[in-house]
Chains A and B, each alone.
Chain A
């Protein structure tokens, strides 16, 4: 990303407001989440074998992604997506998805 500056100002750029999470960088999480939402719906709606991932407690989210990263869980799509995520990035994703409302059951 040599051409792009890691800008400091972002006020206009984000659709999630409410400030940074103490634990995870929500703006980073929102960008990374764009890979997840190709399958997992932002609304929390679940279709087929794709589970909802919004509104989870942070530690639970981190534990599940970490287990795919370590290949302790089987799914190859999830293993591949999580393989290169750093701890910071997983925390960012947890903060972002955790900030979204789970669907009413």
Chain B
């Protein structure tokens, strides 16, 4: 499906390209192609880079800036915790993106200079852009949980950015004794993956129960009075893990007072949990630093965008995608990020090459595995209404559904994972 002729232009080595940019060398031959730079190689950024490069067929110069050479997906990282997937299963390389015409630069993007329209990388190189796509994901608010900070993320892992943190959490979970107490400090809205903490609790309970540790207990200290798919999760916990999961809303725990990583203690207004076997602190979140530093975020800590294109409300040369954006009614999810990327890719190509554009459409579905073959889902299709991304059709699993349907949901969940990771990286 790829045109060979365009590859000659694209397949310059990364180091050579950076060298030329460092020297400020102009495009050498023929008409200079307009430049699209994408910051962040997750479901938003990698999808956008791939779609823009592939569909512009060499008309645009597309560079993806991502420090890591591999990407571990947050989605399905809970299935790794539950023992349903290996770490390799949820880890993907960027090796195929050059085949579509994307130049992948494994550097940290440090600063966006909006006036000069360039991005400075950690090695000092500057990448000029005509359009910039900013998709750095979330940053954690390390000061949002009293007693906990970045220096404690080994002892009390968050595992809310997948990778080594996910493996630390798994190691600690594996060491929880039968009868041990796990405390999860759940995050306030808005945060990445609304059902994620509760699927995680389900997968922890599954791992414990299936390894002879059914007397362990998981306590969720939640700052929210309700949560995503609440009825479905609570029914599932009752059915599969009776007595193992205790969810406490703020009216019951009376507020998280502090945590003490040295002694694995969690203090709420209602009770003190000492010598916990595992404390999973998922703090409050905000847009990635590079987006905030560039002034693309508002007081909420996230970045306002136009509903029809994901173009920044602050800078028309920039598009903000995925978890860093304020995407109206859409949740912060990998599915949503991938969906937004396709709308933005179309809009950017339309602006730079005059290709046809169509009305924006967005979609999201979140599957959550509660126990073997018991998967629930929530989803929506979105369109632009009154300048906002609004759901036009929605669905959610129902309590009391039969087992065949839940099993079918899990088959769908596995097929979706294969599909979306191929769409992003394949």
Q: Is residue B308 contacting chain A, with contact meaning CB distance below 8 A?
A: yes
- Once A76-B395, A84-B381 are accepted as A-B contacts, the answer to whether A10 and B342 lie under 8 Å apart by CB is no
- Once A12-B59, A13-B353 are accepted as A-B contacts, the answer to whether A38 and B415 lie under 8 Å apart by CB is no
Against B, the Cβ 8 Å flags (1 = close, 0 = not) of A29-51 are: 01110110111111101111110
Number of chain A residues close to chain B: CB under 8 A = 41
B309, B350, B360, B381: which contacts A80 (Cβ < 8 A)?
Answer: B381
Q: Is residue B51 contacting chain A, with contact meaning CB distance below 8 A?
A: yes
Min C-beta distance of A21 to chain B, whole Å: 15
Q: Between A and B, how many residue pairs show CB distances below 8 Å? A: 145
Q: Bound state CA distance, A6 and B420, in angstroms?
A: 28
B415 and A46 within 8 A (CB):
yes
Against A, the Cβ 8 Å flags (1 = close, 0 = not) of B29-72 are: 00000000000000000000001001111010000000000000
B306 and A15 within 8 A (CB):
no
A50 and B419 within 8 A (CB):
yes
Q: Is residue A28 contacting chain B, with contact meaning CB distance below 8 A?
A: yes
Binds A, one of B102-110, B242-250, B282-290, B406-414: B406-414
Q: Is residue B205 contacting chain A, with contact meaning CB distance below 8 A?
A: no
B346, B360, B377, B414: which contacts A77 (Cβ < 8 A)?
Answer: B377
**Chain B residues closer than 8 Å to A7, beta-carbon distance:** 350, 354-357
A1, A5, A14: which contacts B360 (Cβ < 8 A)?
Answer: A1
B393 and A83 within 8 A (CB):
yes
Known: A1-B309, A28-B358. 10 other contacts (CB 8 A): A4-B350, A5-B357, A12-B56, A12-B355, A14-B55, A14-B57, A15-B1, A47-B417, A49-B408, A49-B412
Q: Is residue B76 contacting chain A, with contact meaning CB distance below 8 A?
A: no
